[in-house]
A = this chain, B = another copy of it.
Amino acid sequence: MVAGTESPAAAPKRITRVTSFDVAEEAGVSQSTVSRALAGDTSISEPTRQRVIAAAARLNYQVNENAARLRRGKTGTLAVVMICRAGEDRKDLNPFYYSLLGSTCAAASARGYEVLVSFQDSAENFWGHFEERRKADGMIVIGTSENTPAWDYFGELDPDTNWVCWGAPNDGFPWVRTDNEGGATLAARHMLVRGYTRIVCIGSETSPQRQFKERYDGYAAAMRDAGHEPVLQRIERGLPREEQGRRAAAALAASGQPFDAIFAVSDEIALGALKELIALGYKVPDQVGVVGFDGVRAGAWSTPPLTTIEPDFEVAGTLLVERLLAAMAGEPETPRRSPVRLVVRGSTRP
């Protein structure tokens, strides 16, 4: 009401530079009362609060977060570092990581935190001093275990740093990860139940991708449990996943090793193997069953669609945030394993 819309001199042109002092004047109270009223301090009387709120609305006031944070010493922000493979086309980044980023942001926001995201791919831009610079109260690092220089960098940060990570190459890191063993066991049992018995695992127990080892272990445990010997068909290093799957399937077929099912430690490998098997004339799922791990979208579109183990992304993000907040509060333990579920599609027989 004070300054009408057509008052040319009063209309603020630039994004508001209104301070709590202006609001105080407008409301006829002191500046500290404004701060308290807006912060929801219970000692402020309701009429006063209303007056302040109205004045703030009229002036279009918003607190300057930098000043507030400087004073408080806390930021209300969590940093998320996404580690990409150096020089990698972002489009080729496993979409899984993007989903995880999304659910992490959501979980942080549910706990009242904002998220500062940075993508880092190589030594020139590794950076983890968010707390020291008061940019964030803690840090979540998400990446593939293959970017060794990155993990070397983050492994050597100040040990008092509050952080958690996804994709850690070893257990010396404050990790959270998928229930790889459980998932692999689930996959193997599913195949056993469907009548496959000569199940070969395409994967690796020595890959820097620690999860591959865990998945192999889960598969092996389920096999032994059922009285079968686990068999590993190794992937060749340094190739695209799909190609690794293709070659492994070809090698397996050529080896004479009898098999009626394949458990691949990742969907991309599984998809490659699937393509190769079909090219070689195998009938999937009747003659050979195939199960992957990761729940990538493309699996729904292959022929036949890929049966897979799908990690729960929503839970994973929540777990990361919960663990970080617990660490920040000095409470040590919260769950570190994110659950998985079996998605049955057409690459295993009914």
Interface residues of A (CB under 8 A from B): 13-16, 60, 62-67, 69-70, 75, 80, 82, 84, 89-91, 93, 95, 98-99, 101-103, 105-106, 109, 114-119, 125, 129, 131-135, 158, 160-162, 271, 296-303, 313-314
List B contacts of A117 (CB < 8 A): 80, 105, 115-117
Cα A80 to Cα B93 with chains together (Å): 19
Give the residue of B90, B109, B119, B302 whose beta carbon is less than 8 angstroms from that of A313: B90
Given contacts A116-B114, A158-B15, A271-B301, contact A66 B63 (CB under 8 A): no
Give the residue of B14, B101, B160 whose beta carbon is less than 8 angstroms from that of A160: B14
Contacting pair B118 A109 (CB below 8 A): yes
Cα A117 to Cα B98 with chains together (Å): 13
Give the residue of B80, B161, B301 whose beta carbon is less than 8 angstroms from that of A298: B301
List B contacts of A296 (CB < 8 A): 297
Contacting pair A300 B298 (CB below 8 A): yes
Name A's interface SS: mixed
List B contacts of A89 (CB < 8 A): 314
Contacting pair B70 A133 (CB below 8 A): no
Residue picked from A60, A69, A82, A301, most chain B C-beta under 10 Å? A301
A231 smallest CB distance to B (angstroms): 27
Cα A24 to Cα B31 with chains together (Å): 34
Contacting pair B15 A131 (CB below 8 A): yes
A159 smallest CB distance to B (angstroms): 10
List B contacts of A70 (CB < 8 A): 64, 66-67, 70
List B contacts of A16 (CB < 8 A): 132, 158
A13 smallest CB distance to B (angstroms): 7
Give the residue of B13, B132, B298, B302 whose beta carbon is less than 8 angstroms from that of A60: B132
* 17 additional A-B residue pairs with CB within 8 Å, beyond A13-B160, A90-B102: A15-B131, A15-B158, A16-B132, A16-B158, A62-B129, A62-B133, A64-B70, A66-B67, A66-B75, A89-B314, A90-B313, A95-B95, A114-B135, A115-B117, A115-B118, A297-B298, A298-B301
List B contacts of A160 (CB < 8 A): 13-15
A284 smallest CB distance to B (angstroms): 12
Given contacts A109-B119, A114-B116, A160-B15, contact A133 B90 (CB under 8 A): no
- Nearest first, the 4 closest Cβ-Cβ pairs linking A and B are A98-B98, A62-B132, A90-B102, A303-B303
Identity of the chain B residue whose Cβ is nearest the Cβ of A297 in the assembled complex: B298
Identity of the chain B residue whose Cβ is nearest the Cβ of A16 in the assembled complex: B132
List B contacts of A116 (CB < 8 A): 114-117
Identity of the chain B residue whose Cβ is nearest the Cβ of A79 in the assembled complex: B114
Contacting pair B65 A133 (CB below 8 A): yes
List B contacts of A125 (CB < 8 A): 109
A321 smallest CB distance to B (angstroms): 13
List B contacts of A13 (CB < 8 A): 160
List B contacts of A302 (CB < 8 A): 301-303
Contacting pair A102 B119 (CB below 8 A): yes
Interchain residue pairs with CB less than 8 A apart (15) = A15-B160, A15-B161, A60-B158, A62-B133, A65-B135, A66-B75, A84-B102, A98-B102, A105-B119, A106-B119, A115-B116, A271-B301, A296-B297, A302-B302, A302-B303
